[in-house]
């Protein structure tokens, strides 16, 4: 039974790291996009990415998961 707990912890840790990496990629997109153009469609998309980041990070922070982030 202990091996199952370890496997579950590793899977959760890997999933959390992947989600944080995706959120960081969104941050990069926002930063690059700020320099490209100022049309309303792009601005709306950037706002969507910012909101998605905020909500996702809040949800991850609210989980009782210890994640080693490098």
- Tens of pLDDT, residue by residue over 4-46, are 566 777 778 888 888 888 888 878 877 777 666 667 877 888 8
Q: Is residue 6 part of a domain?
A: yes
Tokens 């990415």 belong to residue: 49
Q: Is the pLDDT of residue 69 over 60?
A: no
| Whole-angstrom distance, CA of residue 41 vs CA of residue 69 | 33
For the chain, the straight-line distance linking the first and the last C-alpha, in angstroms and rounded, comes to 30
Q: How many domains does the chain contain in total?
A: 1
Average pLDDT over residues 47-61: 83
Find the domain containing 6 and state its range: 2-62
| Whole-angstrom distance, CA of residue 66 vs CA of residue 20 | 13
Q: Is residue 68 part of a domain?
A: no
Q: Is residue 67 part of a domain?
A: no
């Amino acid at each position: 039974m202990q091996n199952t707990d370890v496997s579950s912890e590793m899977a959760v840790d890997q999933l959390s790291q992947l989600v944080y990496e995706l959120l960081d990629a969104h941050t990069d997109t926002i930063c690059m996009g700020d320099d490209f153009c100022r049309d309303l469609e792009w601005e709306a998309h950037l706002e969507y990415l910012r909101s998605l980041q905020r909500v996702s990070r809040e949800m991850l922070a609210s989980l009782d998961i210890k994640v080693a982030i490098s």
